[in-house]
Structure 1
């Protein structure tokens, strides 16, 4: 498998990436308005603030499978558990893994469920009362554990530790995936977990979606700019995209607490993951398939979409308020497809042993034992079989024929004798 790329990709930040946003870094347009909160345009534009009138995600848990969630104060009380799958981080999954990508997991987590700062300022995630699980993995760094194994083990750990939603903001840039992911993703689906993944970014060389965004059953998130148009740099396209969300001019809390601007569907995915948490919080007991159906069915149609679903926008732009408050009938199937059905059709080589025959075998009576051979007699002595099937029939046919021939001969002689006796003498 090729090196996995972060959907946001190192170097894919906007020109202002290095700008550190703090309360004193800019003069607020409105007095007493925190500039960080003011920059979170997606909270109002995508119905998040309105959805908070119903729930802020309490009682739900989002697993972030990424480079680790740091110890910034915005995460106090949010991160309730974690683990490291790379062998390079800390056992709790909180130590950032990797070099240039080490802050990526913290940025992703802050969009999902940042708590803000104690003074009421700072960044708020889309589901600020949801809990977070930090599952650290290594993207392109030297590790004794293969990346596909890290992901598979991370999914199982997240499920076993109570995740309601799993977020994966990375792509492998390949359509196919390792067969070990079949069982891992099925494990999540079988335990009713919503799995959200990023579509990937054209700016990072991803022209078409790659795994895990190609896996049936996952909710794939494309990216749009602040005006709601498909991002030319921070999103890609593909028939599996389910919904779109902001992927430009995003904020992210770094592991050290600094707030930065960044781009990428890596950020669009946790926004949707958090919306899924809001839906589950407002509707306890709702199935994963119904949660996904609520998100895609209530999405706001994209003005530039040419079809529904669309290869750039999916079913439209995510609408948190509508997803949380709209009543929809329950569905029996995941709108994003069935991985188990895909496996049945395309993993035939691993289908197992041949099926048992449906017909019962036919019973044939044993043959009679062969007649014993006469080994100590002369070959000239007839056997019972030769007498029965050879000599006797031959005698029965031949003797009558000989007798008949003799009778005919005798009759002819009598006739001749009679003629000679009638001839007159001279």
Structure 2
């Protein structure tokens, strides 16, 4: 989330992108092949396997830990968060007084962050959080907010028992204002671990942003599904740890997404994952103070990039199982504050505003029993060109005859749906047996590729592949009447009797 005026949100879905998604969804819905389809919510949570969450949950699920989500509020009635959200606080008159309503009607950012941290799961069709036994303290700043709201939110969370404070937000100011630095230091003095998103390149960030660059804050960058540094994440000397950030799914209010979920790539989600990891550490080691929790997190990180701490991965990529099981010597001070300087400045005063963590993606699951999942990608101008192409192809498909199969009807008569006065081309007899040459090719411009199976190119529903008789003939009127008569055999570009048909239309090949 990037808060209103001096702040800007690292929200997962921008309003303009969502509008584009809504407009283009019917044309650009992608249905993976059934054999490879990721058709449940859980199957999109690739980071659970990366973090070895099933093994970690045999050790702890985060019971006894409270995570404050300072954001736009949290929908306490979301199916993935019922029973997870405690009474919280609103920092201004426009926010929900107890924080248990998502005031961000366009993006549902706070609900998604809370779901990533502590979604209760409940089957493959629900999102499982990193720490499903932890509780969420929602601190709502409303749909838009100011520096004062963040300051009030951090201080309120620290005063009301937050063990972890998640700040998936960013300032547009070059340097964190003194009052925000003071609020963070106050939270650290109250034994809270403060986690913040480092920033996103798409939003104009070029260095680690505030409040992530405040000494003592766990500044989170990101990596992709292969463990490589994610190009959309910022980097800088303040980076502390890297977390999964590519295509992170999370629950949102139904008003944001009809199916209640969105996908996005950004450090907002990466920070929420680390907040969940910290909750698990605090649950497993309840006697550790915040300094030693942070120390355990960074000392067990898996070194990546240049040896030692580096601007991309910080101390390394998060290693949850090591953080929960490895022996780590205690420290007397937070390793992120020892010898730390004030956050860096950034030229240009304010960062360019932005509204999302990456390309807006609407996730959809259409069948709880294992239907093909659909993903709508809004990727800007390139996708518009694809939409135009798909629309043209779809219109052509509606007029297409079956591919390679015999025409229904009695031998020597036109197929159903053709005009009764249309003469049968000389030289053509009854339908061909499997493997023989098919009927004459389509008249140029009259027909397009055959109607396609929903999963991609293939035979029409209910029929086997080309060259075999259909199990049941299509209804009268299929295929539709041609717009031009078929030329006689042997005409230019057309095979005569006994000649093989031309190669199949490339549009009919598997994509």
Aligned residue in 2 for 1:329: 329
Aligned residue in 1 for 2:246: 248
Aligned residue in 2 for 1:378: none
Deviation of 1:14 after TM superposition, in Å, equals 11
From 266, 269, 279, the equivalent of 1:267 is 269
Instruction: Tell me the secondary structure at the aligned position of residue 195 of structure 1.
Output: strand
Aligned residue in 1 for 2:151: 152
Alignment of 1:215-254 (within 5 A): 215-233=214-232, 235-254=233-252
Query: 1:93 and 2:99 equivalent?
Result: yes
Deviation of 1:89 after TM superposition, in Å, equals 2.0
Instruction: Tell me the secondary structure at the aligned position of residue 79 of structure 1.
Output: coil
Instruction: Tell me the secondary structure at the aligned position of residue 176 of structure 1.
Output: coil
Deviation of 1:10 after TM superposition, in Å, equals 4.5
Residues 225 and 231, structure 1, Cα contact 8 Å, conserved in 2: yes
Aligned residue in 2 for 1:415: none
Distance in structure 2 (CA, Å) of the matches to 1:128 and 1:16: 34
Two-structure CA RMSD over aligned residues (Å): 2.9
Aligned residue in 1 for 2:359: none
Residues 80 and 131, structure 1, Cα contact 8 Å, conserved in 2: yes
- For these two proteins, the number of residue pairs brought into alignment is 327
Residues 67 and 98, structure 1, Cα contact 8 Å, conserved in 2: yes
Residues 68 and 134, structure 1, Cα contact 8 Å, conserved in 2: yes
Distance in structure 2 (CA, Å) of the matches to 1:92 and 1:120: 30
Alignment of 1:273-422 (within 5 A): 273-302=275-304, 305-337=305-337
Deviation of 1:276 after TM superposition, in Å, equals 0.4
Residues 112 and 250, structure 2, Cα contact 8 Å, conserved in 1: yes
Distance in structure 2 (CA, Å) of the matches to 1:279 and 1:183: 26
Residues 293 and 334, structure 1, Cα contact 8 Å, conserved in 2: yes
Q: In 2 relative to 1, CA 29–57 (structure 1 residues): closer, same or farther, beyond 3 Å?
A: farther
Distance in structure 2 (CA, Å) of the matches to 1:15 and 1:331: 50
From 57, 64, 68, the equivalent of 1:63 is 68
Structure 1 residues 126-135 or 293-302, which shifts more? 293-302
Distance in structure 1 (CA, Å) of the matches to 2:80 and 2:33: 22
Residues 64 and 132, structure 1, Cα contact 8 Å, conserved in 2: yes
Query: 1:178 and 2:180 equivalent?
Result: no
TM-score by length of 2: 0.59
Distance in structure 2 (CA, Å) of the matches to 1:311 and 1:27: 39
Larger radius of gyration: 1
Q: Which has the higher helix share?
A: 1
Aligned residue in 1 for 2:360: none
Distance in structure 2 (CA, Å) of the matches to 1:54 and 1:15: 43
- Unaligned stretches of 5+ residues in structure 1: 344-426
Instruction: Tell me the secondary structure at the aligned position of residue 283 of structure 2.
Output: helix
TM-score by length of 1: 0.71
Distance in structure 1 (CA, Å) of the matches to 2:151 and 2:34: 45
Alignment of 1:91-170 (within 5 A): 91-101=97-107, 103-117=108-122, 121-138=125-142, 141=144, 147-170=146-169
- Unaligned stretches of 5+ residues in structure 2: 343-511
